[in-house]
Structure 1
Amino acid sequence: MLNVGIIGATGYAGEQVVWILRNHSEANIVFYGSHNYTGIPFNEIYGNYTGFIQDRCVDMEEAIRQLDNIDVLFIALPHGKAFEVTEKALSKGVKVIDLGADYRLKSKEVYEQWYQVEHLSAQLLEEAVYGLPELNREKVASCRLLANPGCYPTATILALAPLLKNKLIDTNSIIVDAKSGVSGAGRSASINNLFTEVNESIKAYGVASHRHTPEIEQELSKVYGEDVLISFTPHLVPMNRGILSTCYGKMTKEMTTEEVLELYRNFYAGEYFVKVADGLPETRWVRGSNLCHMGVKVDKRTNRVIVVSAIDNLVKGAAGQAVQNMNIMFGIKETEGLEFIAMAP
């Protein structure tokens, strides 16, 4: 049985870690760390745990004191907040899974440029493993510091990796148009995320400046073997959860839709959490699951390929992928605790 600590347990991503681990046969949650809800029972913050989790949330100091009692620490904090506790956990032999952005980028300078925060733990950047299991499973299995991917990057990298691995698109032509539910902005109060501000509307944001851009480019460049630049535009849509990433690229070789679909099915053969469909995905078919649904179309008129990828931003885009990585890191069945599909309708 793995003993687990969660810091940031009362944010949306942290709560989803709790939800998944409650149904995990080999995980025991030792503490629920929360800055805003210290001393409050977890089931008073999230009423769905009424009668199930009466444990009170602890502050960061108490969480640090309990590091000796756990095997793995999940950190679900805003960027710039994970440095100190990560170093303390690693020094005690505790493996760390950071759901934030602090260890995703390999360059201290790039991190500071895009996040406008000084990186205080740069010596760990080279060691940290980017936790997209479908591409980095062997590295994940042997790591002690796991940088869990962002939600937009997960959907986008999975969508484009087969094409770039096989040099099938012009890297100067890649455009990513992605849309996310409001939970992607987190649980903190914000006027921009109020119901009346987002309902019955859709808007682009972070145009040519979204912080997930260098993360996507970094990982796609690894797949391709050379630097890759993309045009990435995210949008906010009035739904609770889900991401739909539509990716465009000009093809370097003439292929049919059926041939590209076959390429994708071969690339992701044996991957439980990636499903390549004949049609196009919808976020409702992955909502609440750790699945990524993918569809492909070749537009012969423009010589472009369009790949559409759908995930739940809080599960495959955050907590579910974090647990998937934990399973790999500790030699547990990769799908343990995650073998659930979307609930419909």
Structure 2
Amino acid sequence: MSNSFMYKLAKPFLFKMDPESAHHLIIDGMGAAAKVPGVPGLLSTIWGTKSSPELAVDLFGLHFQHPIGLAAGLDKNAKAVTGFSKIGLSFMEVGTVTPKGQSGNEQPRLFRLPPDEALINRMGFNNDGADAMAKRLAKLGKCKIPLAVNIGKNKVTPNEQAADDYRACVQKLFPYGDFFVVNISSPNTPDLRALQHGDELRELLNAVKDEMGKQAERHGEMPKPILVKIAPDNTEEQLEYMAEAIQLSGMSGIIATNTTISRDGLTHGNAGETGGLSGRPLTQRSTEIIRSLYRMTKGKLPIIGSGGIFTADDAYEKILAGASLVEVYTAMIYKGPGLFKEIHSGLIERLRRDGFTRITQAVGAGHR
């Protein structure tokens, strides 16, 4: 039985459920299953990807077996890290986590748009808080793949004090993340996106960098890489400013992009719901942002491409535009975990077709 066939059988059942209930079923199920002896090995046999040197990426002082990872938002509380690390991903993000646990926005807050291959969410950083995540990750031990911790601010924290929240997350989670992602681009926390611009951005990033230095010293380690996740709804002028501020503040890279507030071209009845749109409608826009950022930073600031990756072509286009790594989320909901193996083998085919011997040679090749 093929891995994609297994998901085809499960999908109608999952799609009959309320989207958030289905989400919890998958995350809690994966978390529980990974504790059963033999199950992680079985997951790896069914969905794992083989090590291919031509797809390997060394970045941020970390080794990625291939460029395909999981975006933040799926495993908000780090409940299913072991399970996810076995299904063919080369890295994953957990979170967004905030210093204190919070319930997020009122339900319903997650909507499927099947004909558009999209999701709209207005979750609002619902999570158990940084202490609960730290406890879980401490129990887990070293993750088999690089693990990124995506950090945010609590809803009740005013923007003037936002830096304190990001600092608190770094303090509590420093030992457990291989790298950290500063989320200032979710549309579902009031005024959060304002932190992407002006002096607020520079001050926030300087504070996070300062805290990272303090924690590294405290733990007797090197500082961990910090990336910034940005929104797709920025003008070229805003992007220029952000790219410059992110580079000057010594960040390790950018994740482009978060969800969009645009509703262009949608056909499904849920299009009117408030929140961030992810999936197929974002494919082109996020690739355009990657292309702009790569050009603006002259390819010197690593980019992780995220937004509407459903096929090997989608992933490869983002890599040619300038992404060193890519992340999937919505496509996994629609296509299942067999997607990672599919993109993995598709990338190898495209590399060979274009005469590249390593994926790193393809990064930004669309500009040359």
TM-score by length of 1: 0.32
TM-score by length of 2: 0.31
Which has more helix, going by share of residues? 2
